[in-house]
Amino acid sequence: MITLYKYSAACYNEQTSFSVEKLDNLVEQIIRIQLSQIQKAPPQALLAKQRSREVDLAKMKAKRLHDEYEQKQRTYQDLRAETLKVIQGNSRFSADLLNSLMDETAAQLKELESQMQAAELEVREAVSGTEQVQKEYSQLMNWAELYDNCSLEAKKMIVVQFVKAVRVKRGYELDIEFNVSFEEF
C-alpha cells in the first residue's frame, strides 16, 4: 500500500530559503498529521471494512465459478441423455458429434473444477489475511503512539518503516510517498 502525499512548501514560507532542517520539520509535521489520523480511526470499523471487502470479492468469484460449473454439469447431463437417444435411434445428432461435445464439456468441467478450488483457496486466504491486516494495524498504532515521546533514533526507525520516499521539487513542493495507504483512515 502506497500513498503519495503532496504538500507545497512554497506556500509555507515564501520569503525564506529552505534548509534541510526546515524541510525535515515540514516532513515531520506531515508525518504527525498522518499518525494522528491513524490514531483517530476506529479500529474495528477499519478492520471489518478491509476484511469484508477482500472476503466478499473472493466469495463472489467462487460463487460465479460454482454457478458456471453447475450449468456446465447440466449441459453434460443433457448431452449424456442425448447419447442414449442416439443409441436408441431417436436423435438427429450423430454419435461422433455428441462424443466430441461431451469430451469438450468434460474438459471444461475439469478446468472449472480447478478454478473453483483455486477460488475457494482465495476465500480461505482472505479470511486468514484478516490476521495480517490486524497485525499491520497494531504496528501502525504502536508507531503513532510512540512517535511523539521517543528518541531521535526511534523516530528515524519509525520514519524509515513509514515513509518510502521524500522528493523536493521546484517551488519547494514536497512529494512524500508512504508505505501505508491512508484512504481507510
The strands making up 163-168's β-sheet, listed across from edge to edge, are: 3-8, 173-178, 163-168
- Label residues 83-92 b or e (16+ Cβ within 10 Å = b): beebeeeeee
Dump the DSSP string for 61-80: HHHHHHHHHHHHHHHHHHHH
pLDDT at 145: 79
Measure CA 75 to chain center: 35
Query: What's the pLDDT score for residue 45?
Result: 60
The SS3 of residue 114 is: helix
**143-161 pLDDT, tens digit each:** 777 777 888 888 888 888 8
Q: Which helix (H) or strand (E) holds 51?
A: helix 43-88
Q: What share of the chain is helix, strand, coil (3-state, %, to 5)?
A: 75, 10, 15
pLDDT tens-place string over residues 2-49 = 444 444 444 444 444 557 777 778 888 888 888 787 777 666 666 666
Convert the pLDDT of each residue in 63-121 to its tens digit.
999 999 999 999 999 998 888 888 888 888 888 888 899 999 999 999 999 999 999 99
Strands 163-168 and 173-178: antiparallel
pTM, 2 dp: 0.48
Q: What is the DSSP letter of 11?
A: G
Q: What is the pLDDT of residue 69?
A: 95
Q: pLDDT per residue over 127-147, tens digit each? A: 776 667 677 777 777 777 777
pLDDT on residue 171: 73
